[in-house]
Amino acid sequence: MRFKNLQCRECQRKYPAEAIYVCEYCFGPLEVIYDYENIDISRESISKGPLSLWRYKPLLPVHTDSPVTIGEGLTPLVRAGNLEKELGIKELYIKNDSVNPTFSFKDRVVTVAVSRARELGFDTVACASTGNLACSVAAYGKKAGLKTVVFIPADLEKGKVIGAGIYQPHLVGVKGDYDQVNRLCGELAGTFNWGFVNVNLRPYYAEGSKTLGFEVAEQLGFRAPRQVVVPMASGSLLTKIYKGLKEFEELGIIDEAGTRFFGAQAAGADPIAEAVRKDEDIIRPVKVKTIAKSLAIGNPADGYYAWNVIKKSGGYAASVSDNEIVEGIKLLASTEGIFTETAGGVTVGSLKKLIEAGKIDPDLSVVIYITGNGLKTQEAVEKSVSKIEEIDPSLESFKETCPWAG
């Protein structure tokens, strides 16, 4: 067996690999532990694997040979030559994870969590979501043929409401912010015997994000990037990309690269970035206010671990204003042709700030993680798109209205 236990990240107590998520003793989060001696994975086996993130299955916490999959992962890693020039850096890549089946990186965590939910015998899957997770759980829940319940803040962007609702899940809008949705789901998870992907299935769910570390390393020719910029809400994604690269290093699949981790947050929801800047290991919860709703978490569960990775890797963190988020979205679209949602605006805006502040070394490779799709948050950029130049269907009208045609 590749894995059979969960372990408390705080006090190291072990638990069986069931649908549990906190240590009964100290409330610390539980994490899947693997028997690495029994894991058979190599560059070759990976290269021959399926064209989805299931090529890394030996390092994922699912036993079944038929996971619930819609072809997630193996998204493009593109060299960003125009943005390199614009920002004055030498080697920049964009991991474009906005082109997953439900248009965000959440499909990575959900394919793992829903596969595990089915394996553990749940007939219902559920989640608390800032939007993207709702879309993903709705799709994968239906694909798995399970009852599907998603909880979202009632005031979510239309693109996310439609992007989740189209799969016909039970869609519950909670009057409150995400932290309140989250608190409610914490209570519900203790009441209903459902597989809440980010509550009682969280140890399995979170592991899916490691594949964003694996994949980037593979796509760079089995080498780790020197610097990465990762958007943070709960801090889970950043923590797990780190774990993914570490596992590859320890299994000898890549060389140790000392990758430095840079966190990106929205200014109105930046308790982790604030703790990094203040250099204190207490993450103070905040009341959120930002257009980056997918990142609007004021009380980040993995904040401390993300902080720790950033600190010990020699990285840093930035926060960006609503305006900088919109500018970031525009910059990525107009230089590299990639239309990202507000979370991606946070990442690009933070990249720019971190370069300007001298935190990111312009001579070393950088990978930025673009984790969500622009079509889901159109409200944010409605006023920032090209104006339509309306003409009659005639040559004269075109010439008259569009002098730039020359």
Partner 1 sequence: MAKVKIPQPLRNLTGGNNEVSLTGSKVGEVLSELEKEYPSIKERLRDDEGKLRRFINIFVNGDDIRHLEGEATPVSDSDEITILPAIAGG
Ligand X SMILES: Cc1ncc(COP(=O)(O)O)c(C=O)c1O
Helix (H, G, I), strand (E, B) or coil at 206: helix
Stretch that binds partner 1, among 66-74, 178-186, 328-336, 355-363 (CB under 8 A): 178-186
* Cα 376 to Cα 378: distance, rounded to the nearest angstrom: 6
| Interaction between residue 23 and Zn ion (CB under 5 A) | yes
Among partner 1, Zn ion, ligand X, none, what does residue 11 contact (CB within 5–8 Å per kind)?
A: Zn ion
Torsions phi, psi for 361 (to 5 deg): -80, 115
Among Zn ion, ligand X, partner 1, none, what does residue 29 contact (CB within 5–8 Å per kind)?
A: partner 1
Query: In the chain, what is the straight-line distance between the N-terminal and C-terminal CA atoms, in Å?
Result: 69
Q: Which residues pair with 7 in a beta bridge?
A: 14, 31
- Beta-carbon contacts of 156 under 8 Å, excluding residues fewer than 6 positions away, are 130, 131, 134, 173, 293
Give the shortest CB-13-to-Zn ion separation in angstroms.
5
Quick one: 23 or 146, whose CB is closer to partner 1?
23
- Beta-carbon contacts of 289 under 8 Å, excluding residues fewer than 6 positions away, are 268, 269
| Interaction between residue 150 and ligand X (CB under 6 A) | no
| Interaction between residue 198 and partner 1 (CB under 8 A) | yes
In total, the chain counts a number of residues equal to 406
Quick one: 19 or 233, whose CB is closer to ligand X?
233
Among Zn ion, ligand X, partner 1, none, what does residue 287 contact (CB within 5–8 Å per kind)?
A: partner 1
* Cα 93 to Cα 228: distance, rounded to the nearest angstrom: 9
| Interaction between residue 130 and ligand X (CB under 6 A) | yes
- Cα Dmax for the chain: 78
Q: Rule CB under 5 A: choose which of 3, 6, 7, 8 binds Zn ion.
A: 8
| Interaction between residue 24 and partner 1 (CB under 8 A) | yes
Helix (H, G, I), strand (E, B) or coil at 320: strand
Give the shortest CB-152-to-partner 1 separation in angstroms.
9
| Interaction between residue 236 and ligand X (CB under 6 A) | yes
Give strand ranges (E) for 216-258: 227-231
Q: Rule CB under 6 A: choose which of 61, 73, 153, 231 binds ligand X.
A: 231
Helix (H, G, I), strand (E, B) or coil at 13: coil
Q: How far is CA 362 from CA 80, 82, 84, 297, 356, in A?
A: 14, 14, 9, 30, 10
**Footprint (CB under 8 A) of partner 1, residues 119-158:** 127-130, 132-134
* Cα 225 to Cα 215: distance, rounded to the nearest angstrom: 11
Stretch that binds partner 1, among 24-32, 69-77, 89-97, 312-320 (CB under 8 A): 24-32
Tokens at residue 405, please? 């045609």
Residue whose C-alpha is closest to residue 317's, from 281, 287, 360, 362: 360
**Do 231 and 343 meet the contact criterion of CB atoms below 8 Å apart?**
yes
**Footprint (CB under 8 A) of partner 1, residues 219-278:** 233-237
Quick one: 308 or 321, whose CB is closer to Zn ion?
308
| Interaction between residue 11 and Zn ion (CB under 5 A) | yes
| Interaction between residue 284 and partner 1 (CB under 8 A) | yes
Stretch that binds ligand X, among 23-31, 37-45, 180-188, 233-241 (CB under 6 A): 233-241
Give the shortest CB-363-to-partner 1 separation in angstroms.
33
Among ligand X, partner 1, Zn ion, none, what does residue 187 contact (CB within 5–8 Å per kind)?
A: partner 1
Give the shortest CB-402-to-partner 1 separation in angstroms.
45
| Interaction between residue 263 and ligand X (CB under 6 A) | no
Q: Which residues pair with 36 in a beta bridge?
A: none
Stretch that binds ligand X, among 37-45, 128-136, 156-164, 183-191 (CB under 6 A): 128-136
- Beta-carbon contacts of 205 under 8 Å, excluding residues fewer than 6 positions away, are 109, 110, 112, 113, 116, 197, 198
Binding stretches for ligand X (CB under 6 A) = 104, 130, 132-133, 231-237, 294-295, 343, 371-372
Which residue ranges make up the site for Zn ion (CB under 5 A)? 8, 10-11, 23, 25-26, 28
